[in-house]
Structure 1
Amino acid sequence: MQFRVAGTSVSVHPVWLLITLTVFAVLIKLGWWQLSRASEKASQMQQLASWQAEGPLNWQQLRQLPLQEADLVQFADEGRWLSPMVWLQDNKIVQGRIGYDVIIPVQFSRFDPPVLVNLGWVEAARNRAELPELTIPEQLPIRGVLRTSFGSFRLGQNLETGDSWPMRIQQVELDSVNPYLPQPALAAVIYQMETSPFQPHYQPVVMPPEKHRGYAVQWFLLAVAVLGVALAASLRKEETNE
């Protein structure tokens, strides 16, 4: 396959052209994905700042909001732990140490659905068969941020079922925990940010928009470099054949 670049005839094998264009398209797509993530993070930061300015809501105020509009709400109220249910979210690393996030169901009103609360992090024992001993008060203050978007990709079984508590879980998924609850939980998780018996570490926005934009620029530059290298290689090949 031949085409002209700046008056120079360039011959490119169709297979190499297809590979080059495929890699170029993938890199461009990654760049646009990073830009979309930057826009999403900027929106989250604006929403978080707005809720922080308004101050924390209690349970009754939260229930008056449509759940889809409550993401990143600052929450403060006192609830009742539905003892003895505790889930330990596995493989959580804090300050280079491996452990678990402690997840419990909390009810703020007798007839309302429970809410899953992430109380924070606890270090794991060296022996994986040994689970940490947890002390959780029956009534406890919840001070944190509510997320309606949670969970992520996982492989394999989510919940390690057993006949005792706590139970290990890979990801917080309502389908896994609802069968143990008196009624289905609210489709949200409250991340405790203070006054916890464990170590709160949750950050609503981990990577700022600027970093995503920087990664986008890198992907776009790599895409241009791929085309440049392919074109340069074709020109050298033409010169060699001459």
Structure 2
Amino acid sequence: MTRQHTAVFGWVLAVLVAAVFCGLGVWQLQRMHQKEALLAQLPPGRDNAVRLDQAAATPDALHWVRDQLQFLPGTVLLDNQLREGRAGIKVYQPARAASGAVVLVDLGWLPLPADRQLPVIKSEQGSQALQGLWAPPPASGIALGPALTAAKQPQTWLATRMDLPAIATQLGLGAGALAPRVLRLDPTLPLGYARDLDLLPNTLPPSRHLGYAVQWFAMALAVLVIALVLQFKKRRKVEEEP
């Protein structure tokens, strides 16, 4: 390979790496803007509660939902969820309204022991009057590996991320059956587990995403600067050779 070919290859590699870093920086900025937009919305009061089908009609807005819901079989345990510094899982179960809308109900958080033995979950049964916050599910992050794996307990799945189409398929509901948001169950209701109504649970605040974006862009610039310096040194070395 000639020196010219080596230089071209080096620049192509540097530009590709810089482009990847810039792409990661743009993704972090998008996450920042999404979370800023969510936090800019004022959570609705309980006096302004709507039915589940009304909330689904404007899916991007926060709603306080109050409806009679029929719990459906199947439990999803979302892994890697922190609460007060402890690792655990979040428990979700689908429920259907009289309108036919189906939503994943956030029943709360349970700790995991050191051996990561999953607790036995008692599914909710029947039709119940529920209320809670219609809000986005926990962020999925970068998708690596399958979203769901079957647990030992029947009709229970351990999820690494909230892939709603995949969850709906596993629950036998059809890929597009689940509502695009989840119902964060009112902590005062006497069912489920430990929970709150934090809009950004177990995730980074917008300021951290901005910081990471700046780091990725700086790394992209550093790659190009290093490539330029190396190119300049090689050229000087060639010019100095007899």
Give the TM-score normalised by structure 2.
Answer: 0.70
Residue identity in the other structure for 2:226: V
Who is 1:131 aligned against? Answer: 119
**Pair 1:118 & 2:111 matched:** no
Who is 2:228 aligned against? Answer: 231
- In structure 1, C-alpha distance between the alignment counterparts of 2:147 and 2:214, rounded to whole Å: 38
The alpha-carbon distance between structure 1 residues 108 and 97, as it changes in their structure 2 partners (threshold 3 A), is same
Who is 1:155 aligned against? Answer: 145
Whose radius of gyration is greater, 1 or 2? 1
The alpha-carbon distance between structure 1 residues 202 and 177, as it changes in their structure 2 partners (threshold 3 A), is farther
Residue identity in the other structure for 1:102: V
**Pair 1:221 & 2:224 matched:** no
Q: Report how many aligned residue pairs link the two structures.
A: 224
Who is 1:28 aligned against? Answer: 22
Structure 1 gaps, min length 5: 4-10
SS in 2 for 1:195: coil
CA-CA distance at 1:20 after TM superposition: 1.6
- In structure 2, C-alpha distance between the alignment counterparts of 1:186 and 1:100, rounded to whole Å: 21
**Could you report, residue by residue, the CA deviation over 1:73-95 in whole angstroms, capped at 9, with x for unpaired residues?**
23242545527654333443434
Q: Quick check: 2:49–2:64 contact (8 Å CA) kept in 1?
A: yes
Residue identity in the other structure for 2:27: W
**Pair 1:188 & 2:181 matched:** yes
SS in 2 for 1:143: strand
The alpha-carbon distance between structure 1 residues 162 and 18, as it changes in their structure 2 partners (threshold 3 A), is closer
CA-CA distance at 1:101 after TM superposition: 1.4
- In structure 2, C-alpha distance between the alignment counterparts of 1:154 and 1:232, rounded to whole Å: 36
Who is 1:204 aligned against? Answer: 199
Who is 1:169 aligned against? Answer: 158
Q: Quick check: 1:90–1:168 contact (8 Å CA) kept in 2?
A: no
- In structure 2, C-alpha distance between the alignment counterparts of 1:71 and 1:215, rounded to whole Å: 26
**Could you report, residue by residue, the CA deviation over 1:88-118 in whole angstroms, capped at 9, with x for unpaired residues?**
3344343443432111233454x54343201
Q: Which runs of 4+ in 1 moved over 6 A?
A: none
Q: Quick check: 2:49–2:66 contact (8 Å CA) kept in 1?
A: yes
Structure 2 gaps, min length 5: none
Who is 1:102 aligned against? Answer: 91
Residue identity in the other structure for 2:206: P
Give the TM-score normalised by structure 1.
Answer: 0.70
**Structural RMSD (CA):** 3.8
- In structure 2, C-alpha distance between the alignment counterparts of 1:66 and 1:179, rounded to whole Å: 17
Who is 2:49 aligned against? Answer: 58
Relative to structure 2, which stretch is displaced further, 216-225 or 76-85?
76-85
**Could you report, residue by residue, the CA deviation over 1:161-208 in whole angstroms, capped at 9, with x for unpaired residues?**
77846x13324521222449xxx5544321225225412256433433
Identity of aligned residues (%): 23
**Pair 1:13 & 2:10 matched:** no
SS in 1 for 2:119: coil
